[in-house]
Structure 1
Amino acid sequence: RITTFSVLVFSSTGSALLSAVAFGIGFIPQLFGSLLLGSLADRLPPRALITGGYALTCATALLLAVVRMPVAASLGVVALVSLATPVFHGASSRLVAQSLKGDAYVLGRSLSNIASAGAQVFGLALGGAAVAALGPRRALAVSAVLYFGCALAVRVRLPRLEAGEFGGTPGGDSGAVRASLRGAGLLLRDRTVRRLMLAQWLPVALVAGAEGIIVAYAGERQFAPGWYAVLMGCLPVGMLVGDLLVGRFLRPRTRERLVVPLAALAGLPLIGFAAEPGVGVSSGLLLLSGLGY
């Protein structure tokens, strides 16, 4: 959805900056959503949260597809919805963390990344084809239908668990915002946790910043319609291959020693874009960057 929205903004304005803002607006508000609403992931039943997240995303995509709003208004809608995204994702992550322990959690996260990367590749291929065939607005309508299907699937297939059944704290003794801020404070006061968070956030944030201008890059280089999706799909393909290699063939100690080199690998290939390469070289650079994830 967010890449199609970025295409919509770029096709409407021709602005690389606004296209990048449209891509980033789906992520930046999540910082504030985590700080203010993160405790809800522990307090509310996971099935309701995850289903509600897909349903809300469905409604947003449908609104953007049907209503012709000014760019600023559409950016505001996406930003507002993104505030709640950490709650839905937090519920999913909590279920995984509660079910897997020790190195099984590391491998489970790797498997989750592989599934996510595969879904991104499929979604980008479908999205690129839909944009090329239908245009960005109708493609957003298609994504709304798919999100509705996801909400329905989670509602039917995910067991009904109360917050306490998966390690959460239903109710609690304080408001959600106060509890969220207190939890964030506890984490950030721990020096080791701060370092781990920085190591997890910073490399991904820098690559995501570059990812946000792929749509504009493809447009300004006059690549064929839909090729932006091929370029964006190279990152999750690289991530999928990297997770398979690292998770399947490397021991835990070796994986830990490779954290810094892999973080560098995520960023170094992007320097090649200074030469303004064509589709083939651009795809190769993004594949290499994805391996580092």
Structure 2
Amino acid sequence: MSTPTTTTTGYRAVLQVAGMRNIFVAHAVSMAGTVAAQVALSILIFERTGSPLLSALVLVCAFLPYALGGIALSSISDRFPARRVLVCSDLISAGCIALMLIPGLPVGALLGLLLLTGIVAPIFAGARAASLAQLLPADLFPIGRSLLRAIGQLTVLMGFGLGAIAVAALGPTLLLALDVATFVASAALIGLGTPFTPAVGTTGGTVQDSLSGLKYLLSNVRLRRLIVLSWVVPAFSSMPDGLAVAYTAQTGAAATAAGALFTGYAVGSVLGELAATRLEPSTRRRLVVPLILLSQLPAIAFVATPGIALAAVLLAISGSGYAFNQGIDPLILAAIDPAYRGRLFTVQTSGLMAIQGVSIALAGAIGTVIRPGLTICLAGVVGAVVTMLLARRALSEN
């Protein structure tokens, strides 16, 4: 493993470690293909059925299986070498997308294949995080995870923004074929260009060892509190996403203006991650609580129904607070028994996706009863109180 020079900081230091460029390029390539494929599949199903519900089920089927994969299959991330898990996950996903190209395949089969890729996704994420913990020095591990988050946010921004354009230019079928190529390319980048990391090994069956990993997480008070905190903060701060369109209508702006609200949080997240990487580890640790508050408090201003431009700025400020993870990740890494790293990171990814989905749906439900702006404000108030209580408990032992 190459060691970054002491004068290099931030993302550059991470990318100087052997194999890191391939890992992050593979992440960007496969993520772009996945987002574009979700857009393509939504449009393809709508063209075949004319049903908005079935089209919307694409996102449900993409995220719902995270819970199953994270709970029942997380031990795969520890049972086998990370590189093998990552390559096999990419190839399974490529195979599922390739089967979607069969002409006339029933909608139920399309959604079933998408469910399978969703089951694989958290296993891939867990193995990748565990490999970063092995390949990167401890002080660079949170920077590596930060880079993954930043790439993910940028890719979502570009993928959903350009996905519809790409479908119009190429057609949904060709775009799905390109997604197959992105997964194959990701597998090649990881398989041929990243160092080998050994498996930590497990002793029982896959489900049994997965459940033992969950039991380990639940029984470790320090670790459990840190993980729950990493889930709950974005659960509240992501609620405005579920109300972006409704809030835009409340302000009287055109529906297309909702895109500014969707992008505001993501842009703020990327800028916050980038700024935090330039800080010393001790400073990032001290900023955990202020950043958590920064992620929640801007939502309170929505009670005054700010215009779309100001609302987008408020969400960008909120998104910048998501960099609190750079202070939390080292604490999580220090609290984990290395034998459980893959399972822990798989469960963390699954729980994050699940709780964000539930919180966005809850915000949408509440927003049908009271004004969307007031709903967002309440999310900020409750979020600030709840996250501060959780942060006090989680950080007091570290």
TM-score range, shorter chain: 0.7 to 0.9
Corresponding letter in the other structure for 1:257? V
Give the RMSD, CA atoms, in angstroms.
Answer: 3.8
Corresponding letter in the other structure for 1:255? L
The answer (yes or no) to whether the contact 1:20–1:212 under 8 Å persists in 2 is no
The answer (yes or no) to whether the contact 1:30–1:82 under 8 Å persists in 2 is yes
1:63 to 99, 108, 116: 99
Which residue of the partner structure matches residue 32 of structure 1? 68
1:174 to 1:105, Cα distance in 2 relative to 1, 3 A: same
1:292 to 321, 327, 347: 321
Which residue of the partner structure matches residue 252 of structure 1? 284
1:95 partnered with 2:125: no
Deviations 1:77-134 (A, max 9, x none): 2122312222211111001122345543223322332333344444445534312322
The answer (yes or no) to whether the contact 1:49–1:88 under 8 Å persists in 2 is yes
Which residue of the partner structure matches residue 237 of structure 1? 267
Deviation of 1:237 (Å): 2.8
1:268 partnered with 2:268: no
Which residue of the partner structure matches residue 152 of structure 1? 188
Corresponding letter in the other structure for 1:183? G
Deviations 1:20-42 (A, max 9, x none): 54213222211221111111111
Deviations 1:33-79 (A, max 9, x none): 11111111111122221112222222223333444444443222212
Aligned partners of 1:105, 1:210: CA distance in 2, in Å?
30
TM-score, L = length of structure 2:
0.58
2:178 to 135, 139, 142: 142
Deviation of 1:234 (Å): 4.8
Corresponding letter in the other structure for 1:291? S
The answer (yes or no) to whether the contact 1:6–1:215 under 8 Å persists in 2 is no
Equivalences for 1:125-140 in 2 at 5 Å? 125-140=161-176
The answer (yes or no) to whether the contact 1:19–1:216 under 8 Å persists in 2 is no
Deviations 1:219-252 (A, max 9, x none): xx6649xx96x87555433221110123324712
Equivalences for 1:73-222 in 2 at 5 Å? 73-163=109-199, 168-169=200-201, 172-205=202-235, 211=241
1:202 to 1:137, Cα distance in 2 relative to 1, 3 A: farther
| Number of corresponding residues | 278
1:6 to 1:285, Cα distance in 2 relative to 1, 3 A: farther
1:256 to 1:203, Cα distance in 2 relative to 1, 3 A: closer
Deviation of 1:141 (Å): 2.2
Deviation of 1:156 (Å): 1.7
Aligned partners of 1:72, 1:210: CA distance in 2, in Å?
31
Aligned partners of 2:247, 2:104: CA distance in 1, in Å?
25
The answer (yes or no) to whether the contact 1:39–1:176 under 8 Å persists in 2 is yes
> 5+ residue gaps in structure 2?
1-33, 249-253, 323-398
Deviation of 1:173 (Å): 2.1
Corresponding letter in the other structure for 2:67? L
Corresponding letter in the other structure for 1:244? L
Deviation of 1:182 (Å): 0.8
1:39 to 1:238, Cα distance in 2 relative to 1, 3 A: same
Identity of aligned residues (%): 30
The answer (yes or no) to whether the contact 2:71–2:214 under 8 Å persists in 1 is yes
1:269 to 1:145, Cα distance in 2 relative to 1, 3 A: farther
Aligned partners of 2:168, 2:271: CA distance in 1, in Å?
27
Aligned partners of 1:40, 1:20: CA distance in 2, in Å?
30
Deviation of 1:9 (Å): 4.5
1:85 to 1:288, Cα distance in 2 relative to 1, 3 A: same
Corresponding letter in the other structure for 2:277? G
Which residue of the partner structure matches residue 367 of structure 2? none
Deviation of 1:177 (Å): 1.1
Aligned partners of 2:156, 2:170: CA distance in 1, in Å?
20
Aligned partners of 2:172, 2:318: CA distance in 1, in Å?
27
Corresponding letter in the other structure for 1:143? D
Deviation of 1:178 (Å): 0.6
Corresponding letter in the other structure for 2:224? R
Deviation of 1:159 (Å): 2.6
1:76 to 1:159, Cα distance in 2 relative to 1, 3 A: same
1:276 to 1:72, Cα distance in 2 relative to 1, 3 A: farther
Deviation of 1:157 (Å): 1.0
1:231 to 1:129, Cα distance in 2 relative to 1, 3 A: farther
